Structure 1
Amino acid sequence: MKIDMGIENGLSDCHVHLSLKSGFTIKQWSMADDNQKTAWISSILEKYKKNNIIYLKDGGDAYGVSLYAKKLADKHDINYKTPGFAIYKEGSYGDFLGKSIKNMGDFDRLFEYLLSLDIDHLKLIVTGIMDFDNFGYYEKTQFTSSELIYMISRAKEENLNVMVHANGNEAVKMAINAGADTIEHGYLLDKQTLKEFIGSSTTWVPTLAPLGNILKYKPKAMINQLDTVNKIYQLQIENLKFALENNIEVRLGSDAGAYMVEHPNGIIDEINLMKEAGISHKTIKELMIKQIQKIK
């Protein structure tokens, strides 16, 4: 599936997970040799290239998949960025995306290790995902304000951007105030929180595709949750329009690899969902061009 945005130098998806839904299970990955790993990753990168999606920003994983992909991306003419693995608070959401910490001493040790891996950005997980049985509920904020400020400032000292997975007003406000470069997802926000983006250095990546595709394909496993999913999604659409009307910087990322979001079609789904919501081709094209120019 291709889409013509009228951008000759390729499209960008600034939130993907090559560790998920890429033709192998994590158990298979852990048992595979380099030849097999190279074949899997090369296959998925070639699919992106074939669809003219050549700028990818990964959200990290706990298994070394994205770091492996980073070594191969140039051979496939893919501009690929990864945090290696995300960092989350012990006992909270995030085990398949990264490594946990108890305190800032743990963070310092993990961060030094990440730097040795030549990462492109830091990924922090500040909340979990939504509960689709209860509208408005999400996992509590994992880190304190002072912890977020410390971790983000350490990244800035190393000239690294910071992508923050966060949902809900408290966590998103905290991340913006701490200097996060991007808020990934940002579901269940009110207008007052959205206004925090104005004048800040933080960009919002609203990832419509996971919820939009659930509503489109209506998987049987979630049939009793679709009403709640729809409420969250409609609020996200409303907030996205508010953000664009108020010149809040928005980037296009699909969360490709997540449930119901396939490689390499995630960003095409994201674009089509924006169009279905009434956002013009011209606006989407401008957003895409801007994020390609700023990709780091």
Structure 2
Amino acid sequence: MFGECHAHMIMDGVSFREAAAKHRNGPDEALIRQVLSAYQKQGVLFIRDGGDNLGVSRLAADLAPEYSIDYRTPVFAIHHRGYYGGIVGYAYDSLKEYAQLVQGARAQRCDFIKTMTAGIMDFDHEGRLSCPGLPKQEVSEMVHIAHSEGYSVMTHFNGADHIKVALEAGVDSIEHGNFMDAECLSLLKETGAVWCPTIAVTGNIIGSGRYDDTVLASIHNRQLANIQRAFSFGAAVALGSDAGAFCVPHPQGILDEYEYFKQAVPDQAFLDARLAEAEVTVRERFKAGNVIMEN
């Protein structure tokens, strides 16, 4: 089985608030072990977490070797105060504070840096985001600081213009990446960044009654089409379901993600080979010290 390249151990696929509450007085080791065991039974032995602000992913990474799982974590995500991201990390007001947070992640033995640089989708209005993306200069400096410390950058982005900013800034992976256009897909190939579409996030909530299914289906089908196009462009696309998000439970999320990918790319032999290549890239790149220092 392939690895899970985008998960959140702190979430449970049902209710973020209730799931996080279980860790408020410290990470719940028994619960984390239960989830790790479930992944092990499914043969999912590589997990890249998106971080949290309660130490859950850090403990998960420490426990994971007992389950023969290679677990990578940024420990927490970093966002500009007033923008999206507080759900899984800490905020900064200046780039100096951002650099301090990078050092804080280092002190907690992070494997890479996770940044939140654009909003989430508005599931009631296609193409709309919860908040705008950060300016190009700021994103570029964030990437430079992380790379200078030897860390790859996993970044949360949606919206074609924002995604172009991220790719031109040199991020190492695009997470979610909804509403890409042809230029984004070309830049993916050109820059060598890995894309984790997390398409299970939309596919699994169609029919849940939580949002407008017409809008969800349109977003989902557009993402399927872009996955197909990304493979045709020769871009690196990895399996990452955002496991733990609403209706994306551990470890079922990655199995669902794979099924959606098969809808986009019916040639399974081709798909499996390309997914394996992308996972190797993620494994090699998202590990502390695996970035060539910038001049």
Do they superpose with TM above 0.5? Answer: yes
Whole-angstrom distance in 1 between the partners of 2:175 and 2:221: 17
Instruction: Please point out which of 219, 241, 247 is paired with 2:208.
Output: 219
Whole-angstrom distance in 1 between the partners of 2:265 and 2:160: 25
Whole-angstrom distance in 1 between the partners of 2:157 and 2:13: 25
Report the RMSD for the aligned CA atoms in angstroms. Answer: 1.6
Matched position secondary structure for 1:257: coil
Question: Is the Cα contact below 8 Å between 1:164 and 1:180 reproduced in 2?
Answer: yes
Identity, % of aligned positions? 31
The Cα shift of 1:192 comes to: 2.2
Question: Is the Cα contact below 8 Å between 1:60 and 1:97 reproduced in 2?
Answer: yes
Say if 2:99 is the partner of 1:105: no
- 1:26 counterpart residue number: 20
Whole-angstrom distance in 1 between the partners of 2:101 and 2:259: 39
The Cα shift of 1:284 comes to: 2.6
Instruction: Please point out which of 247, 250, 255 is paired with 2:237.
Output: 250
Matched position secondary structure for 1:53: coil
The Cα shift of 1:203 comes to: 1.4
Instruction: Please point out which of 137, 151, 160 is paired with 1:169.
Output: 160
**Per-residue deviation, residues 159-207 of structure 1 (Å, max 9, x unmatched):** 2111110000121001001100000000012222222223113111111
Matched position secondary structure for 2:23: helix
Say if 2:281 is the partner of 1:290: no
Gaps of 5+ in 1: 1-9
The Cα shift of 1:11 comes to: 2.2
Say if 2:215 is the partner of 1:228: yes
The Cα shift of 1:278 comes to: 4.1
Matched position secondary structure for 1:240: helix
Matched position secondary structure for 1:164: strand
Aligned ranges 1:1-296 → 2 under 5 Å: 10-21=1-12, 25-31=19-25, 37-215=28-206, 218-222=207-211, 225-294=212-281, 295=283, 296=286
Matched position secondary structure for 2:219: helix
Gaps of 5+ in 2: 287-295
Whole-angstrom distance in 2 between the partners of 1:279 and 1:92: 38
* AA of the residue aligned to 1:31: N
Matched position secondary structure for 2:46: strand
* AA of the residue aligned to 2:269: K
- 2:289 counterpart residue number: none
The Cα shift of 1:289 comes to: 1.9
Question: Is the Cα contact below 8 Å between 1:125 and 1:165 reproduced in 2?
Answer: yes
Matched position secondary structure for 1:25: helix
The Cα shift of 1:106 comes to: 1.1
Matched position secondary structure for 2:210: helix
Matched position secondary structure for 2:145: helix
* AA of the residue aligned to 2:94: N
Question: Is the Cα contact below 8 Å between 1:256 and 1:266 reproduced in 2?
Answer: yes
**Per-residue deviation, residues 68-124 of structure 1 (Å, max 9, x unmatched):** 111111111110000011011111211111011111011011111111111001000
The Cα shift of 1:22 comes to: 7.5
Q: Which stretch has the larger CA shift, 47-56 or 138-147?
A: 138-147
Q: Which stretch has the larger CA shift, 132-141 or 81-90?
A: 132-141
**Per-residue deviation, residues 7-61 of structure 1 (Å, max 9, x unmatched):** xxx42010000000089722221135x7xx2211111101000000000000111
Whole-angstrom distance in 2 between the partners of 1:82 and 1:26: 17
Matched position secondary structure for 1:198: helix
TM-score, normalised to structure 2, is 0.90
TM-score, normalised to structure 1, is 0.90
Matched position secondary structure for 2:154: strand
Whole-angstrom distance in 2 between the partners of 1:48 and 1:25: 18
Matched position secondary structure for 2:156: strand
Whole-angstrom distance in 2 between the partners of 1:230 and 1:22: 20
Question: Is the Cα contact below 8 Å between 2:111 and 2:151 reproduced in 1?
Answer: yes
* Greater than 3 Å deviation, 4+ residue runs: 139-142
Cα distance change of structure 1 residues 278 and 114 upon mapping to structure 2, 3 Å threshold: closer
Q: Which stretch has the larger CA shift, 156-165 or 254-263?
A: 156-165
Q: Which stretch has the larger CA shift, 201-210 or 262-271?
A: 201-210
Question: Is the Cα contact below 8 Å between 1:82 and 1:121 reproduced in 2?
Answer: yes
* AA of the residue aligned to 2:147: K
